Amino acid sequence: MALILYFSDKIMLMNTVPAAHRPFHAGSMFLIVSLLASSCWSGNDAKEEQIRYETSDAATDPADTTNSISGTGQIPSNPQKVVLTGLQQHRLVTVYRQDTVSGRTYYDDYYDERDPHYMPGLDLIHGYHLLSIAHYDMTTEKLDRLFDHPVLVKSLYYPSFIQDSLYEKPVNRDYYLVSVYDADSNMDTLINKKDLRRFYHFNASCTERTQLIPADYSVERSQYDPRNDVMFIFARHDANHNGVAERKEPLHVFWLSLKSPAPAKRLY
């Protein structure tokens, strides 16, 4: 028997089956997971996440991911953490927005954002004013950004640093999954939660990006199926093409194989 708990905009499942009988690693007890990471933690409810979108022809340095991010004007930001992935050669850097008054990054007011083994073989970082993710190759000593302009990253799934298992078999992932607001879809000059939320797959070296859900959808939540090792993704269709996911518009379900992620297939 399982109990589903709803709080904030995450959906988590607490398994009441004794640990000895669980089919996978205890750290992977979440069978229902959400692509929505809460942005309303203590004291931050009034600080709405948004980026003013401005087109510019000015050249930018793609290697500059510290102190400011250009592309929509200079946004004060700081690198917060080097993320240790399960791929020894590959490391990620999270870059958060900096408060122009206090000089602190928004990360400073945000408690531990990492969920280890959120799904078997994948750790999760929730984003709050997470503007950029950089990839560094320890072998080639090359740094690249996953996005060429500031975005609002909501969820970053990456290979677990500590070995994980599913049904007592080792699970190894060699990719990243990112849910993100990355475009001003409703054309109001802002990138924020009113826009469509996209879901991408990146290969290990972040040289290839694949959009997993059609562009006229906004992802809302997901559910994990351990028997098939797939993720079910609930996404709302922007049927009237106004760039906003409205409650009156249809909610569809897609499924994504975590063994070899490719554009998700519609289930419902």
Q: What is the pLDDT of residues 194-214, one digit of tens each?
A: 999 999 999 999 999 999 999
Q: What is the pLDDT along the chain (268 residues), one digit of tens a residue?
A: 333 332 233 333 333 334 344 454 444 433 334 344 333 333 444 467 888 866 544 444 444 444 445 444 578 889 999 999 999 999 999 999 987 666 666 654 454 556 677 899 999 998 889 999 999 999 999 999 999 999 999 999 999 999 999 999 999 999 999 999 999 999 999 999 999 999 999 999 999 999 999 999 999 999 999 999 999 999 999 999 999 999 999 999 999 999 999 999 999 9
Are 5 and 13 in contact, with CB atoms under 8 Å apart?
yes
Q: Which residue has the tokens 């518009």?
A: 249
Q: How far is CA 38 from CA 63, 153, 161, 177, 264, in A?
A: 29, 12, 24, 17, 24
pLDDT digits (tens, 9 = 90+) for 81-105: 999 999 999 999 999 998 766 666 6
Cα–Cα distance for residue pair 182/195, rounded to 1 Å: 9
Q: What is the mean pLDDT of the chain?
A: 79
**Domains of the chain by residue range:** 65-210
Cα–Cα distance for residue pair 243/237, rounded to 1 Å: 10
Q: Is the pTM of this model over 0.75?
A: yes
Helices and strands in the chain: count of H runs, count of E runs: 0, 21
Angle, CA of 109, 161 and 226, to the nearest 5°? 100
Q: Which helix (H) or strand (E) holds 5?
A: strand 2-7
